[in-house]
Structure 1
Amino acid sequence: MDYPYIKKNRAYIVKPVGGKESRGGVSKVQSRAKNEAAAKAAKMHSFCNWAGNQRANPAQIFHPKTVNDLIEIVHKAKAENMKIRCMATGHTWSSSSVVNDDGFLVVVKNMDRIFKPVNVKGDVWHVEIETGVTVKNLDDYLRKHNPPLAMACNVGAECIRYGGILSMGSHGAATHTRSLTDLVDTVKIIDASGTMNTFSKEGDPVEFSAAALNLGLFGIIHTYTLRVEPMFKLQMRDTFPPLHYYFGSPQIGGPRLKAMVLGNDQTQFFYWPFHTFDRTIKHERVWVKEWHRTDLPVTKSHRRVRFQRLIETIKTATNNTFVKAMAKFPQLTPMISPHLCARVTKNADQVLHAPNAIHFWGGMEHIPSMALEMAIKADENFENVVKSWSYVIEQVHEHAQRKEFPLNLMLEMRFLKASQMIMSNMYDEDPDAIFATMELVSAVNTKGFEEFSAKMAQYWMETYRSQPHWAKMWEHVPGIVPYLQQQTGDRYNKFEEIRKKYDPQGMFMNGTFANLLGY
């Protein structure tokens, strides 16, 4: 029985040479890598993430289907003195899922049950889900419920699974809803002894906070219970103001930015490098997306939206040819970028049901990319946000003068209120504090991206005390571990104190977090 390849542009899992087979595996190879490099990697490694920057050789890979399977895996690991790490979709850029011949990899994609939603009171509903549930599957399930329900916020991609989203502290663009993990009411985790533990907000709030965003370090997460609400509509507006309107002067642009963010339910900025044909900052623009809750009638039916997303997915997959060309031939970046930008940017004002508005871009998974994201706490007038964003753009053009193009897809930004999860990069004791999350995105294999992103991260860290998104790239940033320990040592120490109660021997620990937590 072989572990299957997962189709191109997704994480793949293959049977290791001489490796053991697990109960619940899939027998038929679904697809194979089409180029020699991917084929060679498949022979050498039994795990590779979606972006291709993380590879490993676990001693054994499991595809559990039931909670009893999970418990048996823990008992087996304990008996054989093995580590355990879990994988949902493999969309994480950091090495959080990496475990080699000293451990087991547990792939939770078959753990995809959604339990019947419960009306707690008024418009507050709870829905319990297993960690293998995808964003799209939950959206579709809630839409068909009577009454129709929806998540208050969500990530943009529909293909990824909640086990990774919630345990790593991922977020959408909804400012007042905070991170997705802040929507968790209860989490059930099987610890290193094989015992099921239930953590809820009604219990110990600090322990719950650590368990909800636990980075996979408390055990195998079985289910999350999320707060959802009756289906609502969002008015989504797309505009393309000149870059200098918000990012010219910090004293002028900062207050403008703050007023817009506080006036919206959700706000997101995109910047494409070299999207103007004259290749200068002077005429550059930013794509601004704004969302407002509304009672206006929808302007597009769900069926029409799904058809549009299908077309977008096809276009995105086609665009990947040009994206690959930028990575392989960096000097072509200023010529290709304007065409890519023109394909996806246009003014629009429409009213959609919440999931259709939130997942506004189809086929993102078809462009494998590298990404680093840092959260910066906004100052009183958002002037530091303007400065930190502008610095990246200045550096992009400075590198271009040297014929270097390390950032070739986008600079992206969202705004969220502080998270209450102690391991969140947006944690703050002031619940009204607002963080700007800045993300650098380039095509896979883009020359110089790691160096450029590390340089930007160090600037943000030194100047604005920023912290990284755990699911994105961050381990390559020089000095980041001692920096984080210094900035957030008390929180990390508290987290480690709680973690040891459920995994005293470090069964679920891996190199990603061992140094960070002083394990």
Structure 2
Amino acid sequence: MAETFTNWSGSIEFTPTARAAPGSADDIVQLVAEARRTGGTVRPVGSGHSSVPIFNTPDTLVSLENLTGVLDADASARQARVLPGTGLRDLGSQLADRGLAMENLGDVDYQAIAGAIATGTHGSGVRLGNLSSTLVGGQLINGLGEEVPFGVDAGEGEDHDLLRAAQVSLGTLGIMTSLTLRLEEAYDLHRQNYITHIDWVLENFEALIESNRSVDFYWYPRSDLAQVRMLNKPGDEPDLKPQGELKKDETGPNYEIIPNDRALHFEEMEYMLPLDTQLEAFRQVRERVKAKHRARVGWRVLVRTIAPDHALISNAEARYRDGSPTMTIALLQNNTLPYKQYFDDLEPLLQEFDGRPHWGKKHTMTAEQLAPLYPEWETFQKIRRQMDPDGIFMNDYLRSLLGEEGK
């Protein structure tokens, strides 16, 4: 019996029958073959940062911790092939050594690259896509034990359906053995964090998102203050500055400057909504929190933006909103405090604004509710079944999420 696995926030625990840490594609092929022989399942796991049971399995839990590093890089083409278990924190420095950098990063860098891409992890910026949108190719082991190239690795373009399915796949197509990423020339960022009143942010949100490369804000429910984080390449900073205290002012490589250090673990629910520069959804969230939850909310509400993409089940997928960007509203709660009543009360409000949940964070939506939000939902399902006809990579949670219960 393998040891109990606990996710990053501590809200999910399970004990698989076995744990494996393959060191090669051949090792993964053997794991899949054994699962097919016994009728078992395998689920890949990276850092365990997801706060939904996407990685749960009663059978074999597959860690990619031994598959790390940059395989090769082409600075002129601005691409690199990386191994799936590479942590984002390590990947930044390894790419920088080759003169390259990720286009953007998320709020934290604890995740492994394959898991971050599979769940649509994102940073902020109306002209910056999520991490998944930078996946242009790769290879994976499917549910038949075949190593399948996709995207540029298969000589296919970025509009090919298998690539678009792989970009946000929840680990249901197979286990990645390499990922080919579209990158930028290595660059520095100037980060400025301001503490201001939330009313200033509401009045200036449209100007902030248009004038900054990346900007987001936290609202502190107990004080009505907000922290605005502005990230720009040195020399490109806008004239518009928040009224208030400059709390942080630093410049350095993008992979050091973007992520926050989160010593405090937390639970999170995040919904992706059509961009509304008037922030009506946030205004309603704010009023609800002030009226019902202010005494119990220990942390923050975070608002970010994402450029549109065309992955089949990306929650920033463009066709859903006629090509407009996405805005996100995330509710964060200390993992030592109750979160369920808070999240359950706010979730229907976010859904009223055509919200799509972040695949790796707390939510209660199932396939019946999700399918109408994704125009190419059935295309993804068809590809998933072709890649894994026997459900080797499924678990109970994913069957409910994707509408495969009883199949």
CA apart distance, 1:393 = 2.2
Equivalent residue for 1:391, pick from 284, 308, 321:
284
Question: Which of residues 76, 88, 92 in structure 1 aligns to 2:34?
Answer: 76
Counterpart check, 1:161 vs 2:112 = yes
2:72 counterpart of 1:116: yes
Identity of aligned residues (%): 20
Amino acid at match of 1:291: L
User: Counterpart of 1:367?
Assistant: 264
* Amino acid across the alignment from 1:467: R
Q: For the structure 1 residues 348 and 50, does the alpha-carbon distance in structure 2 shift closer, same or farther, using more than 3 Å as the test? A: closer
The CA distance in 1 between the partners of 2:301 and 2:366, in whole Å, is 21
Q: Is the 8 A contact 1:419 1:431 kept in 2?
A: no
Residue in structure 1 matched with residue 206 of structure 2 by the alignment: 258
Amino acid at match of 1:150: A
Q: Residue type matched to 1:391 in 2? A: Q
Shift of 1:52: 1.5
Q: CA deviation at 1:418?
A: 1.4
For residues 34-433 of structure 1, the aligned pairs below 5 Å read: 46-100=4-58, 103-119=59-75, 121=76, 124-145=77-98, 148-200=99-151, 202-203=156-157, 205-247=160-202, 253=203, 256-275=204-223, 284-295=224-235, 346-359=246-259, 361-362=260-261, 364=262, 366-379=263-276, 382-383=277-278, 386-399=279-292, 404-405=295-296, 407-429=297-319, 432-433=323-324
Contact 1:493 1:517 in 2 (8 A): no
Taking structure 1 as reference, are residues 76 and 376 closer, same or farther at Cα in structure 2, changes over 3 Å only?
same
* Contact 1:264 1:292 (8 Å CA) reproduced: yes
SS in 2 for 1:74: helix
Tell me by how many angstroms 1:415 deviates.
0.7
For residues 181 and 293 of structure 2, the distance between their equivalents in structure 1, rounded to whole angstroms, comes to: 45
CA change 1:49–1:349 in 2 (3 A) is closer
Counterpart amino acid of 1:294? P
- Between the aligned partners of 2:110 and 2:394, the Cα distance in structure 1 is 27
Amino acid at match of 2:208: M
Is the 2:215–2:230 contact (alpha carbons within 8 Å) kept by the matching residues of 1? yes
Using the alignment, how far apart are the partners of 2:403 and 2:359 within structure 1? 17
- Residues 487 and 191 of structure 1, relative CA distance in 2, 3 Å threshold: same
2:241 match: none
1:429-440 alignment, distance < 5 Å = 429=319, 432-440=323-331
Structure with bigger RCO (C-alpha 8 Å, 6+ apart) = 2
Report how far residue 125 of structure 1 moved.
1.3
Tell me, in whole angstroms, the C-alpha distance in 1 between the residues paired with 2:5 and 2:35: 19
Report which of the two has the higher share of strand: 2
2:362 aligned partner, one-letter code: M
Larger radius of gyration: 1
The question of 1:513 aligning with 2:398 is answered yes
CA deviations on 1:328-357 (whole Å, 9 max, x unpaired) are xxxxxxxxxxxxxxxxx8434443332222
Contact 2:83 2:177 in 1 (8 A): yes
Cα deviation, residue 180, structure 1: 0.5
Decide which of 355, 376, 397 is 1:466's aligned counterpart. 355
Query: SS in structure 2 opposite 1:175?
Result: coil
> Contact 2:267–2:333 (CA<8 Å) still a contact in 1?
yes
8 Å contact from structure 1 (residues 84, 104) kept in 2: yes
Deviation at 1:137, TM superposition (A): 1.1
Instruction: Tell me if 1:456 matches 2:346.
Output: yes
| Worse-superposed segment, 45-54 or 424-433 | 424-433
Please state how far the C-alpha of 1:211 moved relative to its aligned partner.
Answer: 1.5
Partner Cα separation in structure 1 for residue 87 and residue 356 of structure 2: 27
SS of corresponding position for 2:62? strand
State the shift of 1:517 in Å.
2.5
Residue aligning to 2:240: none
Segments of 5+ residues of structure 2 without an aligned counterpart are 237-244
1:232-263 deviation line (CA, Å, top 9, x unaligned): 1222222222211233xxxxx3xx31222022
Tell me, in whole angstroms, the C-alpha distance in 2 between the residues paired with 1:398 and 1:87.
39
Equivalent position SS for 2:183: strand
1:165-223 Cα shifts (integer Å, max 9, x gaps): 01111111233121101011112110112111111053462221002211110111111
TM-score normalised by the chain length of structure 1: 0.72
Work out which of the residue numbers 369, 372, 391 in structure 2 matches 1:486: 372
Q: 1:442 aligns with which of 330, 333, 336?
A: 333
